[in-house]
Structure 1
Amino acid sequence: MNWLSIKKWFHLFWTTLLIGAGGAVIAGLALQFVNGKIDFKGIGDFFLYPLILLGYGMLVSVYSQLGFFAYLILNYMGNGVFPQKVWKYIQLVLSVLALLELIFLRTVVGGERNVMSDLILGIVILLAALIVSYFKVKSTNISALIPTFFFMTAISIVEVIGVLRIGVDSATVFIVVPLIACNAFQILMLHRILKPTAG
């Protein structure tokens, strides 16, 4: 890995950090407006709340980047163990199973859960995955479709499992917005980082 490649990865890290922070601020403020609970007791609170959101967004960003590198390792191992075509089918099946688990199986197993919340979340993740996959294919080629879809569905769902156990919709929105934004940015930028430099 040469210096230019390290510089690109470093740029990806900081840019993703900013996207996570921005996503958390947008999600946090939007939730405050929707819930109608904006109650700043002073000028200190007015500045402190966005700072807390920024810090939280950065933590979500780092969590997203850990998931991204775990995906890169998993993808590398999958391509090494299975034929490329078989590995793509495996990723597609895992993506579908992850979405089904999120939307249906969690509600069946935990009957007290609200099926509508999981259904909406599943549809949001699915739509985000389809949109990001479209732009990834447009930027590269059709071979990027299934890996991108797998990352944006299965890996994203694994990353949000922890907060889903809390069972609070606002907490889910608070993590999903910056997480999806970070995941989308990283997978869309990957081919630019891996692109060999001329000379």
Structure 2
Amino acid sequence: MSIRKWFYLFWTTLLIGAGGAVIAGLSLQLANGRIEFKSVTDFIIYLLILFGYGVLVSVYSQLGFFAYLILNYMGIGVFPRKVWKYIQLVLAVLSLLELMFLRTFMGGERNVASDLTLAVSIFLSAVIVSYFKVRNTNISAWIPTFFFMTAVSIVEVIGVLRIGVDSATVFIVVPLIACNAFQILMLHRIIKPSATEMEYNTNPVPK
């Protein structure tokens, strides 16, 4: 991955996160209407706050994405590829079960309905993203994509889940899932060598 490609992924993910936060914030505002805007300026400031919050979430998402790439690289180096895929699948299922049931039954931290709704949303988004990833690449990408969109996403939202406020969860989950989905779907395009790079690698010394 070149610096130019990384920078493209970086700023486009920033925009995805900002857009996701704006959509989530406006949707919550329309549903609840808790904030009263006294003027157009107040509304514009609110949009700017949502935009900035989305940018921060996108940076957080990118840190998790690169952490996953390192983890995946280490996993492939330690385990056979087939075994590593099964490990990822098991961890993905366990993370979903933990989110849906274990914390509620063992610790009573949150409402069952909220956890189930969040877990089902993450599961469905993971299945959809995995489908498109496989469609654009091959079947071997299904489990790694599903693992990233479930286990890694759940680890990233653990902090906000401890707050126990559903609106705060929506504020971070929507842009976070959008950023994670965008990055994993763009990965194969980013690391794919361009025609110029392939020509250079074939003929590195100009004649």
Shared topology, TM-score over 0.5? yes
Q: Once superposed, which parts of structure 1, at least 4 consecutive aligned residues long, lie more than 6 Å away?
A: none
Report the number of matched residues: 196
Residue in 2 that maps onto 1:110 = 107
1:160 has 2:181 as partner? no
CA distance in structure 1 between the aligned counterparts of 2:121 and 2:40, rounded to whole angstroms: 36
Q: Normalising by the residue count of structure 1, what TM-score does the alignment of the two structures yield?
A: 0.96
Deviation, 1:9, is: 1.0
Residue in 2 that maps onto 1:26 = 23
CA distance in structure 1 between the aligned counterparts of 2:105 and 2:141, rounded to whole angstroms: 33
CA distance in structure 2 between the aligned counterparts of 1:122 and 1:54, rounded to whole angstroms: 26
CA distance in structure 2 between the aligned counterparts of 1:121 and 1:92, rounded to whole angstroms: 19
Summarize the alignment of residues 5-154 of structure 1 with structure 2, pairs less than 5 Å apart. Answer: 5-154=2-151
Residue in 2 that maps onto 1:178 = 175
Checking the alignment, whether the CA contact within 8 Å between 2:103 and 2:109 is kept in structure 1 is: no
* Paired AA for residue 105 in structure 1: L
Deviation, 1:128, is: 0.2
Q: Which runs of 5+ in 1 are unaligned?
A: none
CA distance in structure 1 between the aligned counterparts of 2:101 and 2:184, rounded to whole angstroms: 27
Bigger-Rg structure (1/2)? 2
Deviation, 1:40, is: 0.5
CA distance in structure 1 between the aligned counterparts of 2:186 and 2:122, rounded to whole angstroms: 19
Q: Percent identity?
A: 81
CA RMSD of aligned residues (A): 0.9
Q: Normalising by the residue count of structure 2, what TM-score does the alignment of the two structures yield?
A: 0.93
Map Cα deviations across residues 63-110 of structure 1 (whole Å, 9 max, x no partner).
000000000000000000000000000000000000000000010122
CA distance in structure 1 between the aligned counterparts of 2:103 and 2:164, rounded to whole angstroms: 11
